[in-house]
Amino acid sequence: METAGKVIKCKAAVAWEAGKPLSIEEVEVAPPQAMEVRVKILYTSLCHTDVYFWEAKGQTPVFPRIFGHEAGGIIESVGEGVTDVAPGDHVLPVFTGECKECPHCKSAESNMCDLLRINTDRGVMIGDGKSRFSINGKPIYHFVGTSTFSEYTVMHVGCVAKINPEAPLDKVCILSCGISTGLGATINVAKPPKGSTVAIFGLGAVGLAAAEGARIAGASRIIGVDLNPSRFEEARKFGCTEFVNPKDHNKPVQQVLAEMTNGGVDRSVECTGNINAMIQAFECVHDGWGVAVLVGVPHKDAEFKTHPMNFLNERTLKGTFFGNYKPRTDLPNVVELYMKKELEVEKFITHSVPFAEINKAFDLMAKGEGIRCIIRMEN
């Protein structure tokens, strides 16, 4: 490519200050250095994590910054030492990574890469501690190694998953974060046997994806639990067969679920981030075989309390990060699930805006409208 090795000038949505609307600016994007790739982003979407760090309430503020981590794009050029991907390859950027060399990457069980695991405070590249974005020579910081709210971005090669070039990037871009997290929590971690009963706590994007995972696994009953009943209608499309609103009952939701299911659900997946829901999700599984999986990110002071007898009675509690998917190894297969029409991605996409109107995606999320809003970089 004629741009390889040169600085690219392009548009990016820059967050100058916490909580202030993003502003579209011309930025300079430096060429990728060793083990880095420069990616032309075609589609990106907004996830809650972008909003948390943009609001920076209780988070380390790092500004000016380019947010964005759910996206799809094409490799423009690669730095020294990159052999796994080449210009023209279609990729999904990922907020965590897979170096393929550390003990976690070498373990068949873990996806928590030592080198590239999510770091929300770092605003620079791992290689040289510098940013690849600048405006008039002033650095603009990166976000979780991806910064996809830019027409071009630079990433560590371990943070891009090379996917089937036939996969429509305007759809599969949403598989690079929340959807895979929920899907993998059910399919890879909870592993519901065919015909089982699964409870999903929290019916946001992650919980709906967990429900989709239960549907794909062949669960016969999928019980959605949420405090917000407006979620229930939508959740039917994701396989939820029944709903429980804890506010409608004057007994603990664990008891409500036990009564509905002859003693407890076979599997539960917690996607709320609320500590009470986490405890309920564990205590509602059937003794003898029940497995609960925690996905939500709790408040920093939260403590999980339950009676140890709940474990002795052969209930299992697990937690998961990014649905236990190894980004480079496993994400291409998640895309294939969509290509084979087993995973339905379209129903997660409720809105779409051109890049110039990216702040509308933030407004929609603030109002709790829809599930995913695709931001189109080109039109």
In the three-class reduction of DSSP (H, G, I as helix; E, B as strand; rest coil), residue 1 is classed as coil
Reply yes or no on whether 240 is catalytic: no
The region of 76-84, 162-170, 200-208, 302-310 touching ligand NAD under the rule CB under 6 A is: 200-208
Distance of CA 237 to the CA centre of its chain: 20
CB atoms within 10 A of CB 21: 13
Our answer to whether residue 102 is catalytic in this structure is yes
Using the 8-state DSSP alphabet, how is residue 377 labeled? S
Active-site residue, from 65, 90, 104, 117: 117
Nearer to Zn ion by Cβ, of 115 and 227: the residue is 115
Of 38, 151, 372, 373, the active-site residue reads 372
Report yes or no: 278 and 317 within 8 Å, Cβ to Cβ: no
Vertex 27: Cα angle to 22 and 31 (nearest 5): 130
User: Which burial class, exposed, middle or buried, applies to 121 when counting CB atoms under 10 A from its CB (0-12, 13-18, 19+)?
Assistant: exposed
* Residues numbered 295-354 forming contacts with ligand NAD, rule: CB under 6 A: 295-297, 320-322
Task: Note whether 198 binds ligand NAD by CB under 6 A.
Answer: no
- Strand pairing category for 70-78 and 36-45: antiparallel
Q: Where in 34-63 is the site for ligand NAD (CB under 6 A)?
A: 48
The residue from 45, 181, 186, 310 that contacts ligand NAD (CB under 6 A) is: 181
Q: Is 159 known to be catalytic?
A: no
Q: Does 102 bind Zn ion (CB under 5 A)?
A: yes
Question: Residue 292 binds what, of Zn ion, ligand NAD, none (CB under 5 to 8 Å, by partner type)?
Answer: none
Window 109-138: residues binding Zn ion (CB under 5 A)? 113, 115
Residue nearest to Zn ion (CB): 113
Site string for ligand NAD, 122-161 (x = CB under 6 A): ----------------------------------------
The answer to whether the beta carbons of residues 36 and 155 sit under 8 Å apart is yes
HSE on the CB side for 113, CA within 13 Å? 23
Q: Is 323 exposed, middle or buried (0-12, 13-18, 19+ CB in 10 A)?
A: buried
Residues with catalytic annotation? 47-49, 69-70, 99, 102, 105, 113, 117, 177, 372
Give the binding site for ligand NAD (CB under 6 A): 48, 178, 181, 201-207, 225-228, 231, 246, 271-274, 276-277, 295-297, 320-322
